[in-house]
């Protein structure tokens, strides 16, 4: 009885230590530079929960090779400019009540705080690693109504991003079936009409056409989509670079349509 209690507490302390490490990483991560116009000096300052819609980025332990961009962990690529840009668009054109545009949050996978937020975002899922406890937390989050946007991953960065993502989702939802999301799905019509999402011009055009994958509750396409994975794609890069002059306005506008639709779908399904 006593030995079992010690082992139980040891597991809890080990997990708590892991979350602490991720939380520390979240506090010290810096925003990416864009052509020298943005200094990497924006630290994470999470907003306290107050019921308003807040954009949440999930932090995870980055797999091998994931520190290729400015030596940042893969989960931090594009932070915080991409989500700040999207939040300004959401505030300007939707009926969301006072969405937070002053701050966005970074939360470690498995932190109970993530259950306060209906939508979360994860970048570079090709470098995602999960413990069994973190996989269970993501599973609970999805089954309780949470929605995840997986973005910015492909196969040609020295790792098999798709295989890694599939393996991670098998940990999270072993009974789930990954399926391609067709243009008729409500997620592409929840605010803007996106009649042919596969016509979107991806930042990764040389990696192949953009693909959209997901899982449905009970593997039933008539039920709620629990997440969407933008493969061969980096929709948030258009958000991040939309005010730099390097991205055509039409492409930025198209990328914002996807982002707005994802948010509105998550809040209404």
Per the listing, tokens 């089954």 go with 143
* Domains, in order of start, for the chain: 2-268 (3.40.50.12140)
Q: How far apart are CA 111 and CA 148, in angstroms?
A: 15
**Is the bond preceding 172 in cis, omega lying within 30 degrees of 0?**
no
Q: What percent of the chain has pLDDT over 70?
A: 81
Query: What pLDDT digit, counting tens, does each position of 1-25 carry?
Result: 333 433 333 334 344 444 444 444 4
Measured from the Cβ of residue 151, the count of other Cβ atoms closer than 10 Å reads 26
Q: Which tops the pLDDT comparison, 243 or 258?
A: 258
Q: Which tops the pLDDT comparison, 9 or 119?
A: 119
Model confidence at 176: pLDDT above 70: yes
Cα dist from 201 to 89, 254, 260, whole Å: 20, 9, 17
Model confidence at 266: pLDDT above 80: yes
Contacts of 168 (CB under 8 A, 6+ apart): 125, 128, 129, 130, 135
Give the pLDDT band of residue 35 (cuts 50, 70, 90). Answer: very low
Q: What pLDDT was estimated at residue 158?
A: 58
Q: How far apart are CA 53 and CA 62, in angstroms?
A: 27
Specify the pairing of strand 147-153 against strand 225-231: parallel
Q: What is the mean pLDDT of residues 174-188?
A: 98
- DSSP class of 188: G
pTM: 0.85
Q: What pLDDT was estimated at residue 209?
A: 83
């Amino acid at each position: 009885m006593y030995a079992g209690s010690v082992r139980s507490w040891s597991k809890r302390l080990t997990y708590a230590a892991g979350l602490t490490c991720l939380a520390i990483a979240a506090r010290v991560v810096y925003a990416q530079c864009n052509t020298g116009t943005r200094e990497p000096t924006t630290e994470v300052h999470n907003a306290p929960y107050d019921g308003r819609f807040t954009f949440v980025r999930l932090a995870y332990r980055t797999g091998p090779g994931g520190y290729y961009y400015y030596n940042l962990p893969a989960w931090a690529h594009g932070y915080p400019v991409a989500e700040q840009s999207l939040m300004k668009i959401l505030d300007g054109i939707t009926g969301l009540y006072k969405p937070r545009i002053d701050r966005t949050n970074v939360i470690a996978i498995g932190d109970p705080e993530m259950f306060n937020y209906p939508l979360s975002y994860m970048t570079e899922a090709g470098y995602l690693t999960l413990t069994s406890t973190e996989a269970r937390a993501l599973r609970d989050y999805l089954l309780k109504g949470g929605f995840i946007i997986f973005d910015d991953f492909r196969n040609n960065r020295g790792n098999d991003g798709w295989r890694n993502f599939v393996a991670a989702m098998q940990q999270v939802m072993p009974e789930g079936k990954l399926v391609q999301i067709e243009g008729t799905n409500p997620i592409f019509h929840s605010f803007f009409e996106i009649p042919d999402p596969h016509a979107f011009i991806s930042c990764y055009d040389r990696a192949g056409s953009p693909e959209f994958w997901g899982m449905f509750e009970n593997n039933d396409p008539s039920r709620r989509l629990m997440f969407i994975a933008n493969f061969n794609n980096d929709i948030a890069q258009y958000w991040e670079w939309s005010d730099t002059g390097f991205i055509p306005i039409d492409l930025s506008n198209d990328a914002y349509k996807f982002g707005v639709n994802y948010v509105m779908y998550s809040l209404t399904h």
